[in-house]
Amino acid sequence: MTGSSAPNLRPSAAYRRRVEFAETDMAGQVHFSNFFRYMEEAEHAIWRKAGMRIAAEDREHQWPRISAQCDFKNRLKVDDEFEVRTVMAKVTPRTIQWAHTLVRGDTVAATGTVTAVCVKKLEDGSLKAVEIPAAILDRLRAVLA
């Protein structure tokens, strides 16, 4: 995601949401940490659309986040309806960087990225980064197409 002017050139998915009261802070707007939760919700919605559950208990892979970033451009307030538009910004053998644009009407509220790494849980309980199975990538990409 390189800007807010044309967030839709790449295949993207849209996730709609409303700001809830408990997500605001005393400054009268959404607390900035909740933007990261909104971006994660949008990503997980893509997994569900692809017929997968990123966090199912019996899943072979897990996807811990290794990096997250967000630029806050306009406030979101209680009851605001907004949309998170999501693209796969960058894929490496073991990571996916998701880029999100949060839009309320014609206004970009925020742009951000969250990068997740594909890991497997070893028998001793530790996590090991592994290559993303092609089948998973294919299914995610099909949702965004």
Residues that bind a second copy (CB under 8 A): 20-22, 24-29, 31-34, 36-37, 40-41, 44, 48, 53-57, 62, 64-73, 75, 77-79
Question: What is the C-alpha separation between 43 and 142, in angstroms, rounded?
Answer: 14
Q: Judged by CB, which is closer to a second copy: 9, or 56?
A: 56
Distance in angstroms (rounded) separating the CA atoms of residues 40 and 144: 16
As a three-state string, the secondary structure of 40-60 is HHHHHHHHHHCCCCCCCCCCC
CB of 43 to a second copy, least distance (A): 9
Can you tell me whether residue 22 is helix, strand or coil?
helix
Q: Measured from the CB of residue 119, what is the shortest distance to a second copy in angstroms? A: 10
Which of 9, 103 has the CB closer to a second copy?
A: 103
As measured in angstroms, the least distance from the Cβ of 142 to a second copy is 20
Residues facing residue 87 across a β-bridge: 99
Closest CB to a second copy among residues 5, 126: 126
